[in-house]
Amino acid sequence: MINALGDQIKRHKARFESQRPQEPHLLTLQSIPLYNPSLGYLNYALANALIFILHQTLLMGTGMLTCTPNTRLQASSFLEALGAILVRCLCFMGVYLFYIFLYFGVLFPYYHIHIHANPTTLLAFGAVFLLATASCGVVLGTYISKPIRITQILLLASLPMIFMMGFIWPFELLPSVLQVFLQAVPAYHAISGMVMLNQLGADLSATLTHLSALVVIAFIALLWESFRLTRKG
* pLDDT recorded at residue 59: 94
Rounded-to-integer distance, Cα 191 and Cα 38, Å:
20
Triad 218, 108, 100: Cα angle to 5°: 30
Helices 119-142 and 186-194, axial angle in degrees (round to 10): 170
Question: How far out from the chain centre does Cα 20 lie?
Answer: 55
Helix, coil or strand: residue 125: helix
pTM, two decimal places: 0.80
CB 81 within 8 A of CB 73: yes
CA–CA dist 131, 97 (Å, integer)? 11
Q: Would you state the pLDDT for residue 227?
A: 86
pLDDT tens for the chain, residues 1 to 233: 555 555 666 665 666 555 555 555 566 777 766 666 666 666 667 778 889 999 999 999 999 988 877 767 776 788 888 888 899 999 999 999 999 888 888 888 887 777 777 888 888 899 999 999 999 999 998 888 888 899 999 999 998 898 888 877 888 888 999 999 999 999 999 999 988 887 777 888 888 999 999 999 999 999 998 888 877 65
Do 75 and 229 meet the contact criterion of CB atoms below 8 Å apart? yes
